[in-house]
Amino acid sequence: MADSTTSAEPRAAHPADRPVYVIGAGPGGLAVAHALRARGLRAVVLERTEHVGASWRRHYDRLRLHTTRRLSALPGLPMPRRFGRWVARDDVVRYLETYAEHHQLEIVTGVEVFRVERAPDGAGWLLHASGGRELTGAAVVVATGHNHTPRLPDWPGRDTYTGEVRHAAEYRNAAPYAGRDVLVVGVGNTGAEIAVDLVEGGAARVRLSVRTAPHIVRRSTAGWPAQYSGVLVRRLPARLVDRLARPLARISTPDLSARGLPRPDTGLLTRVAEGAVPVQDVGLIDAVRGGRVEIVAAVDGFEDGKVVLADGTRVAPDAVVAATGYLRGLEGLVGHLGVLDARGRPVVRGARSPENAPGLYFTGFTNPVSGMLRELAIDAVRIARAVAREEAGRVSRLPG
């Protein structure tokens, strides 16, 4: 990896000798950097932490990809077969480290970019970074990731609640919760898997707080991964997929309405478009059916040392784990450029730049049913092609 005191500086001030700066050394950033290098263009990856794959390193211990090994590899390097079909968190980290070394990517760690704005000469972008750095690039790819900043809702009474409340980003394993009563808030993939982990890890009682019942799918049915179906329906009309998914759900997953998890009224792909991916079952169905995970209403707030639920129930768990998602954290970085929507998401992603910000690209800010890593790999190649087409005259080229 490159030294942070030298490689983060542009080699020359001439507009025709500026690198492409890639912000973030997660899978999206690494894939784009390789795709650019494959076209002979210099790409410098800026990472605020000291390691590649920072978000993967802080995920809970039992995490495995819900996408297959073959469809989760980045361009130019397959994942080793020894990782198995469903790759473990630690193996994902090992793969990202190997990927960076294998492709000899230029990565500068310990550099955080705070703001991106147009370069004074109008040819490229100026990045304001930690240590007083001002870096000028021909183009910028923002790959800071879907899970940038943990989101903990500002529930009424939370500031005076003295019980233990932690975001799921701080959860590693069930050991600290053995023999305890735990309330998990949020029934996305993270909340569902943490609830199962707590049950298997010896928690005395596990309740799962649900505001909107999710679609639940089997990770694999008769050897056919759910991801394969996601790839097949990715471009089909949402209404058609919604209709097809209903009878399949009735066949593959039991009705959990009596346990507090009714089948959703909104169709599967429609929910994905709204930002809610299906929950892939890694034990939740059996845990709910067996009463080991109790479904309760959404959290409304905290009062008198208890958690107040939406149905008026008050519970007093020993600990609360909030699997309440993440913020993209892009407002300070690019919010002033008019490139974000009302929810703080990029208005365009992949190979397209915003009309008012040519040369600025975003990757990794969706969670598609076809698999995020698969889409990141596709995005990387397309972004590199777009940069080569639109910015090639200004990007510094690699020797040889």
Domains and CATH numbers, the chain: 20-148+328-390 (3.50.50.60), 152-322 (3.50.50.60)
Average pLDDT, the chain: 93
Question: Coil, strand, or helix at residue 175?
Answer: helix
**pTM for the full predicted model:** 0.91
CB atoms within 10 A of CB 395: 27
Indicate the burial class of 154 (C-beta count within 10 angstroms; 0-12, 13-18, 19 or more): exposed
Residues 160-201 have pLDDT tens digits of 999 999 999 999 999 999 999 999 999 999 999 999 999 999
> d(Cα 310, Cα 297) in Å, to the nearest integer?
6
Identify the pLDDT of residue 4. Answer: 40
> d(Cα 192, Cα 282) in Å, to the nearest integer?
8
Q: Which residues of 346-366 are buried (b: 16+ CB within 10 A; e: fewer)?
A: beebbbebbeebebbbbbbbb
**Is 20:391 a contact under the CB 8 Å cutoff?**
yes
Look-up: residue for tokens 């910015």? Answer: 391
Q: 207: which 2 tokens? A: 């309740």
The phi and psi torsions of 303 (rounded to 5 degrees) equal -155, 130
Handedness of CA 281, 283, 284, 290 (dihedral sign): positive
**Is 189:214 a contact under the CB 8 Å cutoff?**
no
Query: Which of the four pLDDT bands, split at 50, 70 and 90, describes residue 16?
Result: low
Identify the pLDDT of residue 15. Answer: 55
Residues 234-277 have pLDDT tens digits of 889 999 999 999 998 999 999 999 999 999 999 999 998 888 88
> d(Cα 2, Cα 111) in Å, to the nearest integer?
12
Query: Which of the four pLDDT bands, split at 50, 70 and 90, describes residue 222?
Result: confident
